[in-house]
Amino acid sequence: MKLLMILALSFWGAVAASCAGEPDPRPMAEDPVCLVNRDLGCLRVRVDEDTPRATYKGKTYYFCTRMCKAEFERDPEKYVGHETGK
């Protein structure tokens, strides 16, 4: 019985490890619109060539959606300077 338990735990441990996969190598950024609006579900975004972005006063900002980018571009001063630094 003990052997069966050990085998079962080993099997499920291997399954759990394989589900985790490789870490995502893309860098992370904070969406300033989601930060100010306290939408913490999409605050952190992965940055790649498809990530919406805008440059304001020489700094590039990244967004979870094109809607957040458009909101930022309407009033960027509302959203700059709120970074969490994480």
Over the stretch 46-62, which tens digit does the pLDDT of each residue have?
Answer: 999 999 999 999 999 99
The answer to whether residues 34 and 40 touch, using CB atoms and an 8 Å cutoff, is yes
- pTM of the predicted model, to two decimals? 0.68
Q: Which residues of the chain have pLDDT under 50?
A: 7, 14-15, 17-18
Residues 6+ apart with CB under 8 A from 8: none
The answer to whether residues 84 and 35 touch, using CB atoms and an 8 Å cutoff, is yes
User: Angle 55-60-65 (CA atoms, 0-180°, nearest 5)?
Assistant: 85
Determine the Cα–Cα distance for residues 65 and 42; give it in Å rounded to an integer.
Answer: 9
